[in-house]
Amino acid sequence: MFHVKHTDMQNLLITQAELMGVGVSRSEAEKQIQFLCWLASRNESISLTAISEPGQAVTLHTVDALSAVPELEAVAPGAILDLGTGGGVPGIPLAIHTSRSTVLLDSIKKKVGVLNNYLDEARISAVAIAERAEDHAATHRANYAAVVARAVAGLPSLVELAAPLLRPSGHLICYKGDPLDAEIVAGRRAAEMCGMQEVSIRKLELPDSAGRRSVITYSRIGEGHIKLPRAVGKAQKRPLA
């Protein structure tokens, strides 16, 4: 639990989000901070986050999640999928900000159960599902306008996992630190094989010297040259590029 005034955290969020070019209302800030406080309180019983300081939580969870709002605003209307959501970031902050229907996908059932309890109580337009991306794609093919992924896997793996989940012209939005050129090139090669295309790479600095961020976006432009999804785990163990 954070032992600090919620208003102080709200003020910090509004100020930092503005620095990132994202407007956050006072009512939204309250919802965002309620989520962070819940995350901290539940972290005492189940590992959802490694961040325990309130200011860092605002910056590294909420503001970081909202840093990709410009890319998300360019996506056509439709549902979002947060691939490998973990503790619900970036999916829950994005769901609060955009009000888009959001699916939080993670393979760990215990985390998913905890997240769904919160989503029900907070009345957020999101649901958590305990499933691997490959299995989810088999039943939800081309279901999403956008897939977001933070700290999950390398770019080639993310491109492969997201491709069958995206609608035509749907976007994969990847949160990365400061990826090496080799990873970016490998992502482009995998994208070509999967019917995807790199759209943009936007580099930025998080507030309070919290680190560098690269927001890398791909669009689904076709069916690709291989049958997707491959067997569970292959995208990570044997990346296409």
Q: What does the pLDDT look like over 2-45, one tens digit per residue?
A: 656 789 999 999 999 999 999 999 999 999 999 999 998 887 77
Whether CATH 1.10.357.10 fits 64-237: no
Model pTM score = 0.95
Q: Where are the alpha helices (DSSP H) in the chain?
A: 6-19, 26-42, 54-57, 64-66, 69-73, 91-98, 109-122, 133-139, 155-162, 181-193, 234-237
Q: What residue type is assigned to position 110 of the chain?
A: K
Q: What residue type is assigned to position 230 of the chain?
A: R
Mean pLDDT value of segment 174-180: 96
Q: What is the pLDDT of residue 91?
A: 98
Indicate the average pLDDT of the chain. 94
Domain ranges of the chain: 64-237
Smallest CA-to-CA distance from 216 within 153, 172, 156 is with: 172
Q: What does the pLDDT look like over 179-202, one tens digit per residue?
A: 999 999 999 999 999 999 999 999
Q: What is the pLDDT of residue 3?
A: 58
Phi (first) and psi of residue 87, to 5 degrees: -90, 15
Q: Write the DSSP symbol of residue 76.
A: P
In a 10 Å sphere around its CB, with 0-12 CB exposed, 13-18 middle and 19+ buried, how is residue 67 labelled? buried
